[in-house]
Chains A and B, each alone.
Chain A
Amino acid sequence: MTARDNILKRLRERTDGPLAAPESDFAVVTGRDWSQEERLARFERLITSVHGEVIHTSHDGWTKALAEVLEAKGIRRLALGREHPVAAEARAALAEGDVSLIDADRDVESWRHEQFHDTDAGLTSTRGAIAETGSLWLWPTPDEPRLLSLVPPIHVAVLDADTIEDTFFDVIEAHGWAGGMPTNALLISGPSKTADIEQTLAYGVHGPRELVVLLRHAEERP
C-alpha cells in the first residue's frame, strides 16, 4: 500500500460514515449591478487606496500618456512584449525617443541579470479588472511573460475601461476560466507591500514599488 492508497482508504472508510455535500448559493459574491460610472469610481478608489496610480487617457492617445509617465518617473529602460497591440503601439510610439526598449519575449535565462538589475519598468496589457476589490487580471503569455509584471521596480499596466467587471466571481464565470486555465493567472491589486515590520506598511518589498494603471477610455472624456 502506498501513502496515497492508505490516505484515500482512511478517508473512504470514514468511522462516522459518508458526509452529505451541501449545495452552495453564490448570490453574495455576485449581482452587484453597478453602473459603469460606479464601477470606474470603485475600481479607482480601491486601487489607489493601496498605492496604485491611475492615469486616465483616451484609447487613441494612450501612448502619449505612457511617454509622459516614463518621462516623469525617469524610466530609461522599459521591458515590453512585441505582439500584443499594447506592446506594438508602445514600440511604434517610443521608437524615436531615448527610452531603451528591452525585449521581454525572450527566455528569462538569457537576460535574468538584465531583468533584475537593469530594467526600470515593465509594460503589460491586462485582460480586465475587478471593481469590487480594485484588482487587475492578467494571464501572462509568451509575449508578456509572468516576471514582466513582477521583477522591474515599476509596473505600467494598460487597462480598457470597458473591461472592468463587478466581482472576481463575475470574471471567472463570464470568461469561462474553469474551461481552460492558463499556466499562470494573476490578480494584481497595487504594488508589492509588506507590514511585517511592526505593522508599518512599506511598498516594493519583493515586487514593483509602483503600479501605474493607464486607464483607456473609448471616447474622449469631457
Chain B
Amino acid sequence: MSSAHESVQTFTPREFHRQAHDALGNPQIRANFRRAMDGLMAKRRDVFSDWDLETLRELGANIRLRALAKLPDLLERLEANCQANGIQVHWAENGDEACRIIRGICERHEAKAVIKGKSMVSEEMHLNAHLEEAGIEALESDLGEYLVQLNEQTPSHIIMPAIHLNTDEISKILHDRTGTERTRDVDIMTAAARAQLRERFMAADVGISGVNFAVAETGTLCLVENEGNGRMTTAVPPVHIAVTGIEKVVEQLRDVPPLYALLTRSATGQHVTTYFNMISSPRKSGEHDGPQEVHLVLVDSGRSNIYQDDELLDTLRCIRCGACMNHCPVYTRVGGHTYGTTYPGPIGSILMPHMMGLEETKDLPTASSLCGACGEVCPVKIPIPDLLVRLRRESVGEGRGNVPGAGVKRTKTEVAAWKGFQWLATHPAAWRSGMALAGKLQALMPSRLGPWTEYRTAPKPAKVSLHALVKRHQANKADENEETR
C-alpha cells in the first residue's frame, strides 16, 4: 500500500495506461492527491476573491506574449545586461549540453558537493544523475525535493514535489534514511531536515537553482520560494549556477509584479511567498557574502521548435504555477507519477510531447476529458484544451506535422474506417440500405467491443431505424387525418 521506498517504481509515459490503472487502484495515492488538490483549489479561490482576476490574467498573458514576441532580442539583452553585471551566460541546445556546461563549471572549481534549490529544468535534463556520474554529489534542499530524493523518486507535482506522500510515509523515509526519530509531528521532522541540510549548505562547493523570471532590462534573476533554501543555495556556496528555459525571460522589471501576483496565488493560494529573491550580480568588491561567481545557463530543449508555430507558441507562456494540475480531474485521480514525465498534468501533456516526441508520449494528450478547467484557471490564459486537441490531431497525422513523432498513432485500419464512414455518410441511399441491413443482422453484433464495453453494454442497431419509424408515424398520421375528414 505504501509508496515509501520499499516499492520504488520507475514510470514512463509509454506505460501511462497501466500506471493509471495501478494508481486508480491505490487508495493511499488517491486520498493523498484528493485531499491536497481540494485544499489548493479552495485556497486559490479565496485568495483571488478581492481581485479583478480576468483583468490580471489578461495582463499576465499579455506580458508573456510580449516577451515571446521579442524573444530573440530579449535573450540577447538579458545576456548583455547579465554580463555587464558580472554574471556569466551560457547557452545549451538541449539538456545534455546544459549538463555538460554545469559539470564543466563544477569541475573547474573542483566541486565535490552541490546543493540544489528547486529547479524543474534541472529535473527535465536529469542533472543530478549526470553530476553523480562525474562523482559530484547533488543534494536537493527544498524539503519536498529532499524527501523525494531520499525516497529515490521524482517529484509528483511541479510545486509540491512530495505531495504523493503522507505524514506517515515521510516519517518512515526520514527515519530509515537519516535516523530521525519516528514521529507524526511535522515540526520535529522539519527541524530535523533543517539541521541536516544546514550542514550541507555550509559544506557545498556550488549552489544550483532554477529561475522564475529573468529580467532582460536589468539582467536580474528572480526566484520565488517560501523555505529560504533558494536564498541559501544562491548566497552561501562560493559559486551559483542558475539554469532556466529560454522562455523564462521577461522584458522589463515592471512586468514582474503582475506575474508574481498570479504565480503565488495560482500555485498555492498565497498572497505572496515568504521570499522573493532578485539576483543581479555576484558578490561585488566590498560586499561580505554571496557567491563570487554567478552563472546563467539558458536551455532550449525543444522550446525553439514550439516557438515556430502560432498555436503551439502559447505553450511557452507558462509560468509553472501548477494550477492546471491542481484543477485537473485526471491528475487528481492518477497523481503525478502516472504521467511518467518531468512535468505531469495538463501542462505536461502539452509540453512533454515536444521534449520527448509523440512516440513516447502519445497517450498524454488523451489523458484529459477536455472539461476545460485547466484553461479556465491558467493565470496566463494558455488554451490548454485546444492544445491537447491539436496534439491528438498531430499524433494521428492530421496536424501540421511539426511535432516530433507526429503521425505515430495513425493506423491504416483507422484511416480506412473513417474514409468508409465518410463515404457512407455522404451517400444517403447506401446509408439507408446499410442501416436496414445492420438492423436485420442485429443478432450478429458482438457483445464485446474492446475497451468500450469494459464499462458499457455494446450498442445494438435497432430493428427499425428512427428515420424509418418517423416516416411510418408520419404516414399513419396522414392516414388518420384522411379518415377523420
A1-52 at interface with B (beta carbon < 8 Å): 2-4, 6-8, 10-12, 14-16, 18-29, 46, 50
| Nearest-Cβ distance from residue B332 to partner chain A, whole angstroms | 14
| Nearest-Cβ distance from residue B123 to partner chain A, whole angstroms | 16
| Nearest-Cβ distance from residue A87 to partner chain B, whole angstroms | 14
Q: Determine whether the beta carbon of B226 is less than 8 Å from that of A194.
A: yes
B198-247 at interface with A (beta carbon < 8 Å): 198, 201-202, 217-220, 226-229, 231-232, 235-236, 246
Give the distance in Å from the alpha carbon of A178 to the alpha carbon of B310 in the complex: 31
Give the distance in Å from the alpha carbon of A169 to the alpha carbon of B63 in the complex: 14
Partner of A14, one of B39, B93, B307: B307
Q: Determine whether the beta carbon of A145 is less than 8 Å from that of B36.
A: no
Q: Determine whether the beta carbon of B277 is less than 8 Å from that of A26.
A: no
Contact A196/B147 with A11-B304, A142-B287, A205-B194 known, Cβ cut-off 8 Å: yes
Partner of A186, one of B191, B218, B226, B278: B278
Q: Determine whether the beta carbon of B227 is less than 8 Å from that of A206.
A: yes
B472 within 8 A of A: no
Instruction: Output the nearest chain A residue to B311 by Cβ-Cβ distance.
Output: A16
A67-92 interface code vs B (CB 8 A; 1 in, 0 out)? 00000000000000000000000000
Q: Determine whether the beta carbon of A197 is less than 8 Å from that of B170.
A: yes
B428 within 8 A of A: no
* B residues contacting the other copy or chain, number (CB 8 A): 101
Q: Determine whether the beta carbon of B59 is less than 8 Å from that of A116.
A: no
Q: Determine whether the beta carbon of A196 is less than 8 Å from that of B162.
A: yes
Give the distance in Å from the alpha carbon of A132 to the alpha carbon of B50 in the complex: 11
Q: Determine whether the beta carbon of A6 is less than 8 Å from that of B69.
A: no
Give the distance in Å from the alpha carbon of A185 to the alpha carbon of B231 in the complex: 11
Give the distance in Å from the alpha carbon of A197 to the alpha carbon of B282 in the complex: 33
Q: Determine whether the beta carbon of B232 is less than 8 Å from that of A206.
A: yes
Please classify the interface of chain A as helix (H, G, I), strand (E, B), loop, or mixed, using the class held by over half of its residues.
loop
A102 within 8 A of B: no
Q: Hey, which chain A residues are within 8 Å of B271, CB to CB?
A: 46, 132-134, 189
B12-20, B256-264, B460-468: which lies at the A interface?
Answer: B256-264
B42-84 interface code vs A (CB 8 A; 1 in, 0 out)? 0000000001100110010011011011111001100000000
B157-202 at interface with A (beta carbon < 8 Å): 160-163, 165-167, 170, 186-187, 189-191, 193-194, 197-198, 201-202
Give the distance in Å from the alpha carbon of A49 to the alpha carbon of B105 in the complex: 42
B365 within 8 A of A: no
A119 within 8 A of B: no
Q: Hey, which chain A residues are within 8 Å of B186, CB to CB?
A: 197-198, 200, 202
Q: Determine whether the beta carbon of A177 is less than 8 Å from that of B272.
A: no
Instruction: Output the nearest chain B residue to A177 by Cβ-Cβ distance.
Output: B253
Contact A135/B272 with A169-B258, A193-B226 known, Cβ cut-off 8 Å: yes
A56-64, A105-113, A156-164: which lies at the B interface?
Answer: A105-113
Q: Determine whether the beta carbon of A20 is less than 8 Å from that of B69.
A: yes
Q: Hey, which chain A residues are within 8 Å of B283, CB to CB?
A: 183
B138-146, B353-361, B431-439: which lies at the A interface?
Answer: B138-146
Give the distance in Å from the alpha carbon of A135 to the alpha carbon of B277 in the complex: 12
B275 within 8 A of A: yes
Give the distance in Å from the alpha carbon of A25 to the alpha carbon of B62 in the complex: 9
Q: Hey, which chain A residues are within 8 Å of B218, CB to CB?
A: 177-178, 181
Q: Determine whether the beta carbon of A207 is less than 8 Å from that of B166.
A: no
Q: Determine whether the beta carbon of B278 is less than 8 Å from that of A167.
A: no
B440 within 8 A of A: no
Q: Determine whether the beta carbon of A205 is less than 8 Å from that of B66.
A: no
Q: Hey, which chain A residues are within 8 Å of B253, CB to CB?
A: 172, 177-178, 181
Instruction: Output the nearest chain A residue to B304 by Cβ-Cβ distance.
Output: A10
Contact A200/B167 with A16-B309, A172-B254, A205-B143 known, Cβ cut-off 8 Å: yes
| Nearest-Cβ distance from residue A3 to partner chain B, whole angstroms | 4
Q: Determine whether the beta carbon of B71 is less than 8 Å from that of A11.
A: yes
Given contacts A169-B258, A190-B274, A206-B141, 20 further A-B contacts (CB under 8 A): A7-B246, A10-B308, A16-B310, A23-B66, A26-B254, A112-B202, A134-B271, A145-B287, A147-B235, A172-B254, A172-B256, A181-B253, A183-B290, A185-B220, A186-B277, A187-B272, A189-B272, A194-B143, A204-B190, A207-B228
List, sorted by A's number, 21 A–B pairs whose CB atoms are closer than 8 Å.
A3-B91, A7-B91, A11-B307, A15-B308, A22-B69, A46-B271, A134-B271, A146-B231, A150-B228, A167-B257, A168-B256, A172-B254, A181-B280, A184-B278, A186-B276, A187-B276, A189-B271, A192-B226, A204-B190, A206-B231, A207-B274
Residues of chain A at the chain B interface (Cβ within 8 Å): 2-4, 6-8, 10-12, 14-16, 18-29, 46, 50, 104-108, 112-113, 116, 132-135, 141-142, 145-147, 150, 167-169, 172-173, 177-178, 181-200, 202, 204-208
